[in-house]
Structure 1
Amino acid sequence: MQKTVAVIGGGIGGLSACYHLTKSSQVFKIVLLESSSRLGGWLRSTRREDGAVFEHGPRGIRPAGNAGKNTLKMVSELGLENEILPVTSDNIASKNRFLYVGGKLHKMPSGAAGALRKVPPFSRALVSSVARELLVKRGTQEDESVHGFVERRLGKELADFAIDSLCRGVYAGDCRKLSVRSCFPPLFRAERDYGSIVLGMAFGRTEKATELESKLAQKSQEEGWAQWSLRQGMQALPEALEDWLRRTGRVEILQEVEVQRLERTAGGCAWEIKLHDGSIKTDHIISAVPAKALSSVLPPGTGPLSEELRRITSVTVAVVNLEYEGLILPVEGFGHLVPSSESRGVLGIVYDSVAFPQHNRKDGQSTRLTVMMGGAWFFEVFGDPEEVREELLLQTAAQAVRTHLGVDEEPIWSNVSLQKDCIPQYTVGHWERIEKIRQYLGQQSLPLSLVGSSYQGVSVNDVIFSSKRTVERLLGNKQTHLDTLGCGRSLFTPSKERFHLQPPPGG
């Protein structure tokens, strides 16, 4: 019997799920539903006629780990190898990263030499914190905040400056509320298994080589890539996926279609997706929308699931792209982050022109910057995202550039993007919420799979890898056949790979 799979959400997670479904030899009808007029989600780029490219979401992807290799393999299969812009580990954008503390930019220590000497804003050398960490007793809590974990093991300064800034840069979140177990699982496992971060990182398990190796992944290792982008911007990745899906002729893509509610049919073994002007019957649903959005359309009888999904909240980030005439940066590097003690509203500034000069305009020199603002502090600083004025966001961003970088010039071009609820917050206890969701899906035998950044990994790599593994389980590549699905088995297979740090939002 023909099986139908509906994928709800046309961001990178939903597109990736459809991509892997189309590669199956099994007979499927695949339907992709997206509520907006475009596919790609947070991967969005502006391409100007003069050649300049500006990112409004993730601006670079790391090649490391199985999740990174998986993305590179997909990029190769999509025929995008020649479009890649690699940034190697010896590039100045990889080596130089800054913190803005006390009204000054401070280069973060790097390498052995940096760890051995005192580097402002820290009052002692990093090596002293590392030596101290070896003597700290193993924690006993099932979970704790990132700030609490780092302060306990490495000291208050590293927690207040480095980790606070890092969590704002990756999650746009408050490290005093975010979960170390869910946000930085390698650190949590290192202490749990070895009693020390240092020992765990030195002697802990490494990822096994998999079938994800490709020539492109091998090239990234040989050349020492730290991250990469695409010539036409990161939006080129979902565009290539969309083109692939349309060319296969196996995916029905419905845009500007909003799901009103989901109803179980056929004794609970299938679904009917209620739309504004009709409905779709399907054997299985892969949800690639945020947890909160899914909770709002689930049937009344799934109250416990809806409740846990609603507890996974997200934050809003204002992304302000600025272009200045000439070369105006006082330093060169990837950019700088700002701890919450220095500024609540401004999370950091990315020096886009340094990492990806290929995205600069072709006629004359200019400097491209991106100011990230808001996150967990959006309401406190800017008010309701539904009511905030773009002028306020632009003024705040331009003032941050003047203050942090000493730039007196006015930008010659700007763009304000308000990314509402773009980054999920894995607060303390997130792992337990995930476990309750997994158990509920299994006990109720819901023909439902969950992918996306709401669960275990906000990076582009994590979301893509989660989709791949979910589809593999659904198709029976793990000794499970599709014919046994739909009733009696449910799937929840978010990526358990290491979290790879990405510039916000979600990269």
Structure 2
Amino acid sequence: MAAILGAGLGGLSTGYYLLKHNISSSLKLFLLEATNNCGGWIKSLKTKDYVFEQGPRTIRPKGINGLNTLNMIQDLGLSEHIFPIRHDHPAAKNRMIFVKNHLHMLPNNVYDIFRTNEPFSKPLINAIFHDLKQQKPHGDLHDDSIYNFVERRFGKEIADYAISPMICGICAGDAKEISVKFLMRTLFEWEQTYGGVIKGLMRSIFKAKQSDVSQLTELAKKAQEEKWNVYTIKGGLETLPITLRDFLAENSVDIQMNTRVKEIEFVDSSLVNLVNQNGESLKVNHVYSTVPAYSLADLVEKQHPELAKNLRSIPFVTVGVVNLYFPSSTSLIQPAFGFLVPPIENSPILGVVFDSCCIPDQKGTVLTVMLGGRWYNRWFGDGATKDALLDVALQHVSSILHIKERPASYNVNILKNCIPQYVVGHYDKVEKIRKYIQDLNLPISLIGCSYDGVGINDVIYSAKTQVEHEYV
């Protein structure tokens, strides 16, 4: 018997891969969720006129992780529900930043790198020459912040106006704190190995290997052939976790909602006792934890305080999400994915996504404003109300996008401690945590964004690799 803690995307994906590895066996599998909701932070509010995505809204098809997700989606029978955004779509090409009270389009073609594009003071080709001229740092650099790395390789403007807002969009974090070794490991290794990013890129081009297309489903091949930039699912991204939940239920997984585990007792290397909020116990042979690291820390602290301490050392941030619907007959925005606000601008908002440009079946103008993140407590504190966040969102939509009318509908969520921060040293921190578990032969696997990456693809691939680690 095995138990999965958490019915977010990580937990549902873990169940999916466990079933795939044990398709002909009699493995008894439990999925324990503390709330009455599956899918974690993925939530879609759908009406006849719009879809409000309260968490992630699109998925990238690139890389091993991205192709793996597409393979899963086809296996679940969702291929016909996919809505791709190809590389030539405005939502793929047009991405903006808000700097010095103006929206600026980021360069989106090869010609732009030879021109001076505000807010940059020089053509971006200069940043390439800067990297080629810079030497590798003296000594072995074990890790660094993304900001330091980019400023060193490409200059301060690239760090401030390109990379820092991108990190806000990825993990609502501060590029001056986030680990380059974790989020941009390949670029960091190119610098350490070859002395620069461009030098490493040139070498990689000659060493590049084609994907093994025999391992790809038709959907994954289609994404490559049609050059998808990102994609979503018609009717809302929540369709994916709902379909996963149904797949697990159809294959006899015991899904227990509103079941909060209060303590994990490790009896020996093949027996775990899970104690719930009512004092009832469930004995299993292995636990797959997909809950946030800070939640798992509370469950193991009694027996393993050192493990709990290390788990709590992974910081998380809170994000405010405000969805807005304007039922206008003509679009109130220019075609684009949206815009991000660099931290140097000292703004309470992280950015705005133009959902009506990148999500299908939207009637009118639909926007999502993201607030706070690493700076949430500074701007809003612990007691901020949803009305306060709505007011801030509307003020910035009015001043930046010049939309003066009130939305016909809106939704405000405060996602408390929703995104882990992969600060400098994160890679080694996770390695230390997993080594502790391995050395003591504890029957538990750690899965999800706390450890292996914040994106949908990362979470699904984390489930796959941890399940395979147990069975291969």
Answering whether residue 425 of structure 2 is matched by residue 460 of structure 1, we say no
Answering whether residue 16 of structure 2 is matched by residue 39 of structure 1, we say no
- The more displaced of 424-433 and 296-305 is 296-305
Residue 249 of structure 2: which of 236, 246, 251 is its match?
246
CA distance in 2, matches of 1:199, 1:463: 31
- The more displaced of 168-177 and 294-303 is 294-303
Give, in angstroms, the shift of residue 438 of structure 1. 2.2
CA distance in 1, matches of 2:190, 2:367: 36
Mapping 1:57-456, distance limit 5 Å: 57-139=55-137, 140-204=140-204, 206=208, 209-210=211-212, 212-249=215-252, 251-265=253-267, 267-277=268-278, 278-326=280-328, 327-356=330-359, 358-361=360-363, 366-384=364-382, 387-456=383-452
CA distance in 1, matches of 2:419, 2:378: 17
TM-score for both structures, normalised by structure 2: 0.96
Q: Indicate the RMSD between aligned Cα atoms, in angstroms.
A: 1.4
The DSSP-based 3-state class of the residue aligned with 1:233 is coil
Deviations 1:357-384 (A, max 9, x none): x2313xxxx1000000010000000110
Give, in angstroms, the shift of residue 186 of structure 1. 2.0
- The more displaced of 203-212 and 132-141 is 203-212
Give, in angstroms, the shift of residue 300 of structure 1. 2.6
Deviations 1:217-273 (A, max 9, x none): 000111111111111100000000011111112x100111111001111x4431000
Give, in angstroms, the shift of residue 329 of structure 1. 3.3
- The count of residues paired between Structure 1 and Structure 2 equals 463
CA distance in 1, matches of 2:201, 2:361: 36
The DSSP-based 3-state class of the residue aligned with 1:28 is coil
Q: Is the 8 A contact 1:263 1:299 kept in 2?
A: no
Quote the residue 1:20 is aligned against: 17
The DSSP-based 3-state class of the residue aligned with 1:416 is strand
The residue identity in structure 2 corresponding to 1:59 is: R
Quote the residue 1:29 is aligned against: 28
The residue identity in structure 2 corresponding to 1:353 is: S
Answering whether residue 470 of structure 2 is matched by residue 471 of structure 1, we say no
- The more displaced of 278-287 and 132-141 is 132-141
Deviations 1:289-340 (A, max 9, x none): 1111101100533222111110001111111000113234352210000011
Q: Is the 8 A contact 1:65 1:207 kept in 2?
A: no
CA distance in 1, matches of 2:43, 2:148: 35
CA distance in 1, matches of 2:38, 2:209: 32
Deviations 1:24-43 (A, max 9, x none): 23331100000010110011
The residue identity in structure 1 corresponding to 2:19 is: T
CA distance in 1, matches of 2:30, 2:136: 49
Give, in angstroms, the shift of residue 100 of structure 1. 0.3
Q: Is the 8 A contact 2:82 2:231 kept in 1?
A: yes
Change over 3 Å in CA distance of 1:184–1:46 after alignment to 2: same
Q: Is the 8 A contact 1:10 1:34 kept in 2?
A: yes
The DSSP-based 3-state class of the residue aligned with 1:301 is coil
Q: Is the 8 A contact 1:70 1:212 kept in 2?
A: no
Structure 1: segments with no counterpart, 5+ residues: 479-507
Quote the residue 1:503 is aligned against: none
Give, in angstroms, the shift of residue 473 of structure 1. 2.0
Structure 2: segments with no counterpart, 5+ residues: none
Q: Is the 8 A contact 1:115 1:126 kept in 2?
A: yes
Deviations 1:133-180 (A, max 9, x none): 011111332111111111111101111111111111111001111111
CA distance in 2, matches of 1:193, 1:116: 28
CA distance in 1, matches of 2:177, 2:389: 25
Give, in angstroms, the shift of residue 206 of structure 1. 4.7
The residue identity in structure 2 corresponding to 1:52 is: Y
Q: Which runs of 4+ in 1 moved over 6 A?
A: none
CA distance in 1, matches of 2:125, 2:435: 43
The DSSP-based 3-state class of the residue aligned with 1:130 is helix
CA distance in 2, matches of 1:29, 1:51: 42
Q: Is the 8 A contact 2:333 2:365 kept in 1?
A: no
CA distance in 2, matches of 1:77, 1:268: 34
